[in-house]
Every structure is written in structure tokens, then in C-alpha cells.
Amino acid sequence: MTSMSLRERYRVIFGYVGNLFVFFPLLLMIPVFFTLVFSEEISHTLPFLISAAIAFAFGFMLKTSTRVKPRTPITPQEAPIIVVIAWIMSIVFSALPFVFGGLLDFSRGVFEATSGWTTTGLTMFEEETVPRAFLLWRSLMQFFGGAGFAVIMMSAILGPSGFNLYHAEGRVDNLVPNIRRSINTILLIYSSYTAAGFVMYVIAGMPWFDSLNHALTALATGGFSTRNASIGAFNSPAIESITIVLMVLGATGFGVHYAFWKGNFGALKKNGEWKTLGVLLLIAIPFLMFSAVGGLFAGFSDSFRYTTFQAVSALTGTGFSTADLVPWPSVGLYVLALLMICGGMMDSTSGGIKQYRIYVVFKFVINEIKRMLLPRSAVTRVEIWKAETKNYLDDLMLKEILLVMTFYVVTLLIGVGIISGYGYSLSFSLFEFSSALNTVGLSVGITGPDAPLGIIWTQTAGMFLGRLEFIVVIFAFSRFFKDAGTSLKAKKRSD
């Protein structure tokens, strides 16, 4: 690739980033409208207006200086760079209201925004002291982050070239052949479930503002709450049951939802992800009840109620809680950490390794055992169903999974090592960084406004890498630095 072609390609990259952030202020205006409707919040309007103006100026500057033609194709090499830049800048601009509002400094504001967009739910706040406009902004970040920020914003800008961007943000399957129809289908499913969740919360007795925020964050498997004690503050089995349903729906892949509403139950029956998710819960909940933490609760019903909620919250990557985890013994924390690591389904709002990868590895092991019992000449083909798509187990699929898992384990060890270096126990360090890396949000108290900056930035990096699944981020930075080196060499030759 020549220096001139590099310049042209980065003009396209920054042009699309500019297009994106010209529209970004529309999101920041939602809390502004909220402050105008509710007069007691009017004093919090200015931080959002200033942040929106800065974001618009940034986008407008890139858009006008690059002048990229509409529908300019995006290649698979450019898409990850666009996605990574878009996520980084959206996090920065989303942190500004917290900074300008005097609620957080820059580092903690970036942490809060990262936790929002990555649908993690770890927080710097005591929620009940935060103005409602900022609570709403946190919930909106998780709602849009769960659906896929770049996917939503670019749907109005891109045509077929958006396919590469769609995949770069972690979406694997098109629900329908047309990319824009796929995005619209995702948004329809996502918004419908959220609206239903809001209505159910209100019926269950949750105040309307709490209902709105928890509906936005439950389906996004985000975990931001309006209460210091999270869902536990309501002490309502009905609200907890509704939340469990929303968390499971959020952890279910959009392709599975689409197949269900189409009535394609044959494909769903062959899908392995929901089976592994169910098996993990059937193993984890009784173990927690009878072996790990049952003694902390009074009676069977309370033990079942609280362990079930925490287990579902951990596995789905939501991070809502109804119990204080600090008194839990190490074995209970390790079980929850394992559930967080496993995560939800592929193409869902959840984090973690994902049930699809776990299912593929399981099928591979079973197939290898079967092959040991067959003649060497025997040929076996293993079907792997993902929503309505049938794939066959092959080396390429396994290599991709092993690559992700390798990056995952290395990152996990580094993060746990850093947090342990601040004097925390292994169980607490593993739990806290697993929560960040798997975008969950459950905490044993390490993360908070008084945490050292080293822990805050370690957790921030973990959330970011976990949401974009390592390979996209690594590819984007590798490509960027490689292109920068190529450009410098070309410049030296020309001099």
C-alpha cells in the first residue's frame, strides 16, 4: 500500500468517524430534554449541552476536512479502526457531562462512561446521591452500547459497506441478507423487549423513573441501577423475577430471538448455546445453595432466591445484585467468577467467552473421544448450529476460539496480577477483574471512587477489551502502527 493510498484510506476512516459524531450529540440531547421537562433538573442542562457542542465540533471538523463521498466502501481492514476510534471517542465525549457537572474527575468519568458503553455496570457513584439526568445518561449509554453503538449510528449512513463494520463490532450473523434490515430487526426486538420490561416493572410496583432505567439496563445486561443496593433495594420477588427474565433475554443472541419469532423451532432445538447456558445454571445454583453460601441465608426459599439471582446476573453479564457479596466465602466467589467468564450467547449484549465457544469446544472433545473408538479411516462431521445457521466444526473455527481464549487468559492474568499488587486477596482480585473483563458489574467493593488510579485504568482497559473481544482492538492498533510505519518510511524515501 503506497503512502498516497494510505492517506486516502485514512481520509475515509476519519470521514466516517466524523459522520458518526455529527449525529452523536442527539444522544446527549435526550438528558437535556429530560431536564427541561422536569424543572428540578434544569440546573444540570449545561454539562450536556457543552459536551454535545464539543462532540459536534469534532465530528463536523472531520466531516468537512475529509469530504468523504456517501456510500464510500469500507474494507475489512478499515472497519476495526473505525469501530475502535468510534468507541474511544464516544467514551471520552460521554464522560464529559460527569466532568463538567463536577461529579467526577476525568479518569473516573472515563471509567463510568466505559462501564456504560460496554454494558458492565461497575460504578464510581453512590447512585442515590446522583441527579436523575445523569442516572438517565448512564442507562442510555448501556442501552445503546448493548445494541451496538456503531451499528446503530452507522445504519443511517452506510449501505452494503456497513457489513464489515457490523462484523467488526462483534456481530457475526446477518439476521436477513440486507444489513440495514438486520439492524432494524435487532432494534425492533431490542426496543420491544425494553418497552415490555418497563411496563412489567411499573405493574410490579417499581416507580416509573426506576422502571425506565432498569428496563434500559436489564435487557442490555448492563447493571447500572438507580439505587445503591441495586435490585435488592426493592426487596420484591416479583421485580427480581422480571429482572431475571430480562437478563436472560439480553444474554440470548439476536439470531435466536429472530428464529423464535419466526417460529423456526427446529433450528432452536438444534442450537447448543441455550443448552450449555441452562446446564451451567442447573449446576451452579444448587452448588451455591448447598455447598458455598447456603448458610448465609435463612431457609431454603431465601437461599434459592438469592443464589439464583446472583448466578443469573453473573452468567448473563448483567451485574445487578440482591445480596452483599463481601461476606461470601471464596468458593462462592470463584463459582460466580467462573459464570462471569463463561458469559452469555454470541451476538447478545453479554460479555464473557460466550456459550457458543464453550459449546464448540465441548463438541470437539466429544468428537475426539468418538474418533478414538472408530477406525482411523472413519470420517466424522460435527454440526454446529448457531441460531438458524448450520456450520461444521473445522480447524479454522477452533483456531479462532483458541486465539480469543489465549488473549482472554493472558489479559485476565495480567489484570488479576495488577489488582493483587494493591494488597487484595486472590479471590477478590479474580472476582473484580473478571467482572470488568466480562462486562458484568458485580463487585466485592474494590471498584469505587476511592480506588487507586492504577486499578481504575486497569478495570477500564479490561472492560474495553472485553466488549470488543480483543482481536478487533489488537488488529486495529496493529494496523494503525503498521500504516504509520509505512507512511514514515515513504516520507523518508521522498526526502
76 pLDDT exceeds 90?
no
Q: What is the pLDDT of residue 94?
A: 98
φ/ψ of 173, rounded to 5, equals: -110, 140
The pLDDT of residue 51 is 98
DSSP designation for 68: P
Residue 467, pLDDT above cutoff 60: yes
Q: Compute the average pLDDT of residues 187-197.
A: 93
pLDDT of residue 181: 74
More confident residue, 389 or 26: 26
Q: Is residue 210 part of a domain?
A: yes
Give 228-259 as a DSSP string: TTGGGGG--HHHHHHHHHHHHHHTS-HHHHHH
Backbone angles phi, psi at 385, to 5 degrees: -95, 130
Nearest to 2 by CA among 495, 489, 481: 489
CB 470 within 8 A of CB 415: no
Confidence of residue 495 (pLDDT cuts 50, 70, 90): low
- Are the C-beta atoms of 362 and 339 separated by less than 8 Å? no
Cβ within 8 Å of residue 342, ≥6 positions away: 280, 315, 352, 353, 355, 358
Res. 140: pLDDT tops 80 = yes
Whether 227 is covered by a domain: the verdict is yes
From the DSSP assignment, how many helices (H) and strands (E) are in the chain? 21, 2
Range of the domain at 182: 6-343+469-479
Q: What stretches of 252-294 show up as alpha helix (H) in DSSP?
A: 254-262, 265-270, 273-287
Q: Looking at 54-58, 182-186, 265-269, 323-327, which range is the least confident one?
A: 182-186
The grid cell for 23 is 449525529
How confident is the model over 147-187, as pLDDT tens digits?
875 555 555 444 444 545 555 555 555 555 566 677 778 88
Taking the C-alpha atoms of residue 379 and residue 231, their distance in angstroms, rounded to an integer, is 52
Q: Is 249 contained in some domain?
A: yes
**Is 377 domain-assigned?**
no
Distances in Å between the Cα of 429 and the Cα atoms of 36, 120, 284 are 43, 17, 21
Is residue 494 scored above 80 in pLDDT?
no
Say if residues 339 and 317 touch (Cβ distance below 8 Å): no
pLDDT in tens, 13-65: 899 899 889 999 999 999 999 999 888 899 999 999 999 999 999 999 999 99
Task: Judge contact between 47 and 96, C-beta under 8 A.
Answer: yes
The mean-pLDDT minimum among 188-192, 212-216, 380-384, 404-408 falls in: 380-384
Instruction: Give dist(CA 84, CA 486) in Å, integer.
Output: 21
Least confident of 51-60, 78-87, 439-448: 78-87
Give phi and psi for 487, each to the nearest 5: -65, -40
Is residue 130 very low, low, confident or very high in pLDDT (cuts 50, 70, 90)? very high
**How many Cα atoms sit within 13 Å of 464 on the Cβ side?**
23
- Average pLDDT score, the chain: 89
Q: pLDDT value at position 453?
A: 98
Range scoring the smallest mean pLDDT among 95-109, 291-305, 374-388, 411-425: 374-388
What is the tens place of the pLDDT at every residue in 213-262? 999 999 999 999 999 999 999 999 999 999 999 999 999 988 889 889 88
- What pLDDT, on a 0 to 100 scale, did the predictor assign at position 156? 44
Q: Which pLDDT belongs to residue 487?
A: 78
- Using CA atoms, how far residue 197 sits from 205, 212, 469, in Å, is 13, 9, 28
* Number of compact structural domains in the chain: 1
- Please tell me the predicted confidence (pLDDT) of residue 52: 98
pLDDT of amino acid 160: 46
The verdict on residue 213 lying in a domain is: yes
Query: Mean pLDDT throughout 79-96?
Result: 93
Classify residue 158: in a domain, yes or no.
yes
Least Cα distance to 142 among 119, 174, 171 occurs for 119
Residue 354 within any structural domain of the chain: no
Given a cut of 50, whether residue 306 has pLDDT beyond it is yes
415 found inside a domain: no
